Amino acid sequence: MAKAWGGRFHQATDTRVEAFTESISFDRRLYAVDIRGSMAHATMLASVGLITAEERDQICSHLDQIGEEIAAGQFTFRQDLEDIHMHIENSLITRIGDVGRKLHTGRSRNDQVSTDLKLYTRDAIDDLDRLLADVQRAFLDRCEADAGVILPGYTHLQRAQPVLAAHYWLAYVEKFQRDRERLSDCRRRVNVSPLGAAALAGTSLPIDRQMTARLLGFEAVAANSLDVSSDRDYLAEFVFCLSLISVHLSTWAEEWILWFTTEFGFLRLPDAYTTGSSIMPQKRNPDVLELIRGRTARVTAAVPQLLMLLKGLPMAYNRDLQEDKLGVFAALDALRPCLELAPSMIAGAELQRQRIEARLEDGFLDATALMEYLIKRGVPMRTGHETVGRLVAHCEARGCRLADLPLSELQEACGLIREDVREVLGAANANRALQSFGSGGPQSVEAQVETWRGRLAGA
């Protein structure tokens, strides 16, 4: 900073300090939002008479040129200019002299960087919402493609109850909807303008913070200038939202990795999303899914990184906050490609229906349906649970299924059983018996599919 601002200092900055303190190597990606913020600020300065309309136009025109040069890769970045804000302002001053020196009137780099980060985060939220909706639509489309397919539902990785494949896909639609809602809620706190709070105490100049907020699309103006310069709550909240998205992606990836194994054999992945082995010619490895699962670590790591950065800071700006961008950028850079790849992989995978159907009756998926049949006959739940448990043990000893037992043996276990018990035995019957709201049975799933078609139609 000594070289850039100079007036207070008598020595040039040590070059090692320049290297240590620079952030241009990673914050240059903020150039577009920095220019947007500066143009809004210049427009406001002209409206309150702190610069002329001609100066505003000159500033905005050259800011446009600088942005075009950066986008085209024709702009020179220098370590001694430290960050993206100084690069743009220095370039502006080089081009238009004292008029460029007026741009920073009524603001500090403290509120400037916060404005940039909020604009960048808001744009990222909007982009992620679009990507998440694409993933939801891909799962929803599978509901029609896999209509009628029954899968074993698992708890503890043990077969539990039969559900429609569409019920599985809708579970992910629900998860990613919560992610979208969290991002939307986070966006409300992001969308509060810090611009004009200056360093920490505001300014004596007659600026119009409401005007810059409107120009930049902010819904409100931050009310406490001291809070503005230290506030990174919105970033902590944002990276937490990203971490949950990545966890949901990882859950999906882990499940499909298991389903892709020979042991499960439920799923065939498109060749375009698998890789071979350097030594074993038969291999088809789910590397893309494994990397999605693995990159969760990068995203979730940003949460403790940012919290640890913030926890020891006193009020107002401290240079530690330069480090806030690293975790946010890393999390975004890890997550976005996962979301971009997911829809095509979801659409291209194929359930191995014959393999699934061949083993669907394994694991007594109809046991709970039989217990609930007994409950409907007036048997206390715990008694019904014990009765079916004994029948399952009996079947395991004989190497048969519940549906294989003759009515007489079923009635020996419970005299209330009638011939209509056949309506709940077997995986397909047990699935059809499911009827509660949100269940994995046909009526509930069909209703939810229709609901989601409507909800995602305009997403």
3-state secondary structure of 152: strand
Give the C-alpha distances (Å, rounded to integers) separating 234 from 30, 80, 244, 302, 347.
17, 30, 16, 13, 34
Listed in sequence order, the residues at least 6 apart from 300 whose beta carbon sits closer than 8 Å to its beta carbon are: 243, 246, 247
Listed in sequence order, the residues at least 6 apart from 323 whose beta carbon sits closer than 8 Å to its beta carbon are: 309
- Residue labelled with tokens 């009020």: 315
3-state secondary structure of 268: strand
- Residue labelled with tokens 């009638």: 418
Asked if 82 contacts 113 with a C-beta cutoff of 8 angstroms, the reply is: no
Q: Which two tokens stand for residue 69?
A: 């040069």
DSSP 93-119: HHHHTHHHHTTTTT--HHHHHHHHHHH
Is residue 194 exposed (0-12), middle (13-18) or buried (19+ Cβ within 10 Å)? Answer: buried
The residue count of the chain comes to: 459
- Would you give the distance in Å from CA 291 to the centre of its chain? 16
What is the rounded distance in angstroms from the CA atom of residue 117 to the CA atom of residue 91?
A: 21
Q: Which two tokens stand for residue 238?
A: 């944002």
Which positions are catalytic?
A: 156, 277
